[in-house]
Structure 1
């Protein structure tokens, strides 16, 4: 597999994942704005963690599929940088409880998500 081909595969997957993340952010924006908590980012990260756990085994033997789905789509879908920025904004705005809750929920629920995805794949696939 050539490096240029890998770049295009990852880039195409990243495009798909980024658009999916944006759509989820639009759908969940009202809840996030209404309550002042970044629900959209949390939902995207937990769902992405579940999916990476679920798909890790099926795509482990397929290098093109792994690059497209795992690195591209799910890498573009989930977002650690937005989570970090939103946490810092909450903290800087004096919302220490929400900032702490955001860290706790993202880490805990994403770990649970990847575990559940992995276990679900063992049952379903």
Structure 2
């Protein structure tokens, strides 16, 4: 880790965290359901999938955007604390929220990888996309 990369992560994280806060202020929890957290985590999963497919892990832009901006934008801790609070009020809804978050996040990441993959690449199966 170079000082330059550390500064890129710091700058990107500041941007991503500010974006997450703005969305949280714009979209408050409805009925105790942390929808803003769901939105940023699913959107972040999609975008990190695109970045992972497009940029090599050593690229400085991937460090800035992926680790920095999207790392600050998405939030596992808010997902967990929001789920615990929801569990106290409505356990079945908390379970559905957790399962939905995982399924949507995985689907978004897979879609991001598919969207980001350059056209005409050969997959492990040997089929051309």
Range of TM-score over shorter length: 0.7 to 0.9
Q: 1:55, 1:7 → 2: CA distance?
A: 19
Task: Provide the secondary structure at the position in 2 that maps to 1:60.
Answer: coil
Among 95, 114, 117, the residue aligned to 2:109: 114
Larger Rg: 2
Q: Which has the higher helix share?
A: 1
Alignment deviations for residues 57-116 of structure 1 (CA, whole Å, 9 cap, x no partner): 22216521111011000000000000001111112x231012101210111100000011
Q: 1:57, 1:23 → 2: CA distance?
A: 28
- Alignment root-mean-square deviation, CA: 1.7
Matched ranges for 1:1-125 at <5 A: 3-29=2-28, 32-33=29-30, 35-60=31-56, 62-91=58-87, 93-122=88-117
Which runs of at least 4 in structure 1 moved beyond 6 Å after TM superposition?
Answer: none
TM-score (norm 2): 0.84
Q: Which runs of 5+ in 1 are unaligned?
A: none
Q: Which runs of 5+ in 2 are unaligned?
A: 120-129
Q: 2:57, 2:4 → 1: CA distance?
A: 18
TM-score (norm 1): 0.87
Task: Provide the secondary structure at the position in 2 that maps to 1:57.
Answer: helix
Equivalences, count: 119
